[in-house]
Structure 1
Amino acid sequence: MAAKILVLAGRRSATLDPLAEAAGVTHKCLVPVQGEAMVGRVLRTAADAWPDAELFLSVEDFAAVAEEPTVAKLHAEGRLTPVEAQFHIVDSVVAASRVTGFPLIITTADNVLMTREVLHRLAAQGAMGEADAIVVMAEKQDILAAHPDGQRRFYEMRGGGYSNCNLFWLSSEKALKATESFREGGQFAKHPKRIVKAFGLLNLLRFRFGLSTLDGMFRHISRRFGVRVRPMVVTDGRLAIDVDNERTHRVAEEILARG
């Protein structure tokens, strides 16, 4: 079965993203990193991972990105299918899943340090059938080793700090329950109170006071949503660095320049 990969590229608000404004483009996903639009780089990595991969791009206006070279090439080849993004990221995933089907790998257009290797590992772990949903995570020490300015906030657990890598795997429609954790934006390291709505008060306390290990926290999350949600921890700390602002844009360019 060909891999199915959904890239989320919708705008979060009607206000133009500061990075997009500075770069003179209409969408953040079109901001260049090392001379290539972020959405193009992510789609190219996904396309290179499997020659028969089915690619999907969630964006509110496909015409706004259709002329980006990689987008245009993949769309012309019939390898890329646009799907209309919704206002909330969760609704975008749910709407897209009706077109994509399952199993489904999900990432974001600003995940420019994503690699073919992590995509292969994620698909292989999903195929083992031990989870309904998988969240790729990296440890604090590995992220800081990749670049000291790559991340500034972490999920502090008993045993160490972690950050997610904006890379997910869903087995079936049932696994969509787990995406509700992103209804409030998902950036819990920046806004821990969002865990109350997403995971419940008890899990907020576990999070705030480092009372759970990473595996323990995911067991609690699994019970809350009634699906098996598992972490996949990677040692490549670069994978947890996406382009959110001027600082992380600089960091990504520095890492990519190393080759």
Structure 2
Amino acid sequence: MTCSALILAGSRAGEADALAASEGVSHKALIELEGLPLLARVHAALTAAGMERIAVCASDPEVIALAERLGAVVTEPADGPSGSVARAFARLGAPMVVTTADHALLRPRWVRQFIEKTPPDADVAILLARRAAVEAAMPGSRRTWLRFADGEWSGCNLFHLATSRAEAAIESWAGVEADRKRPWRIAARLGYGTLWNYWRGRLTMQGAVARLGRQIGISAAVVSAADGLAAVDVDSMKDLADIRALVAERRAGAGL
């Protein structure tokens, strides 16, 4: 089955990107890692993973120009990531993988494994990494951890909208998006019984996502990342320095 991909490279309205400014570029997607802008690296990984059609959601003129040079479809941002995904999904349809332009370490095999591990009956899947895997892969990395009964998890900025029914999930994304750093509020959306189970340490991540899916009438699943680096993106100067050091170390180790 062919699959499309969307790279989110928009900007929050009214917010200056201090990280981009520190690197002398207009947008974080244009920060270079070993001579390539982050957007180009993500696009290359998705292409190598077999994505048939790749779209870039952007408003920055330089990012749009780069996307067009890469041969990507350019889509216009909406209010917030969820609206931007909905707009692109209406154009590209299912199945569609969603990621971000600052996913600097994205590997083709992660994307392929994610799609292969998505349950066949799932309308939507989310890639998450366990804390132990992330800390083993990148010691000292500062991530947002979601604590559930089956451990602590970090998002990997990879989503699989597997069927047309995923549209319902996009519509509910905005609310979950606002609570992404407060898992108890996500549990509260599922009712007092689920919130009580969360406080008692009985709610698993997979259980929470599956219940969220059932609440909106779809099947939703969690896929656990095999590589903890899948959760590492460029959110700060420290992230960028850590990623540059890791890439340089690997290149030196490979004798490149």
SS in 1 for 2:42: helix
C-alpha deviation, 1:113, in angstroms: 1.4
Residue 52 of structure 2 aligns with which residue? 53
C-alpha deviation, 1:13, in angstroms: 2.3
8 Å CA contact 2:64–2:74 kept in 1: the answer is: no
8 Å CA contact 2:29–2:101 kept in 1: the answer is: yes
| Inter-partner Cα distance in structure 2 for 1:203 and 1:136 | 22
| Inter-partner Cα distance in structure 2 for 1:121 and 1:195 | 27
SS in 2 for 1:90: helix
| Inter-partner Cα distance in structure 2 for 1:81 and 1:218 | 31
Aligned length: 250
| Inter-partner Cα distance in structure 2 for 1:106 and 1:36 | 21
8 Å CA contact 1:199–1:221 kept in 2: the answer is: yes
Aligned partner of 2:80 among 77, 88, 106: 88
Residue 99 of structure 2 is aligned to residue 101 of structure 1: no
8 Å CA contact 1:163–1:240 kept in 2: the answer is: yes
SS in 2 for 1:40: helix
Query: Once the two structures are superposed, what CA deviation does each residue of 1:215-243 show, in whole Å capped at 9, x if it has no partner?
Result: 22222222222211100102200001111
C-alpha deviation, 1:31, in angstroms: 1.9
* TM-score, normalised via structure 2 length: 0.87
Query: Once the two structures are superposed, what CA deviation does each residue of 1:180-225 show, in whole Å capped at 9, x if it has no partner?
Result: 4541573746344653786566555555553212222222222222
Structure 1 segments of 4+ aligned residues over 3 angstroms from their partners? 187-194, 196-210
**Pairwise mapping of residues 172-211 of structure 1 onto structure 2 (< 5 A)?**
172-184=163-175, 186=177, 188=179, 190-192=181-183, 195=186, 203=194, 206-207=197-198, 210-211=201-202
Which one-letter code corresponds to 2:63 in the other structure? V
Aligned partner of 1:64 among 56, 62, 65: 62
The alpha-carbon distance between structure 1 residues 88 and 152, as it changes in their structure 2 partners (threshold 3 A), is closer
Q: Which runs of 5+ in 1 are unaligned?
A: none
Query: Once the two structures are superposed, what CA deviation does each residue of 1:2-53 show, in whole Å capped at 9, x if it has no partner?
Result: 3201111110122211101111211121122333211111011111222x62
The alpha-carbon distance between structure 1 residues 204 and 256, as it changes in their structure 2 partners (threshold 3 A), is farther
Aligned sequence identity (%): 27
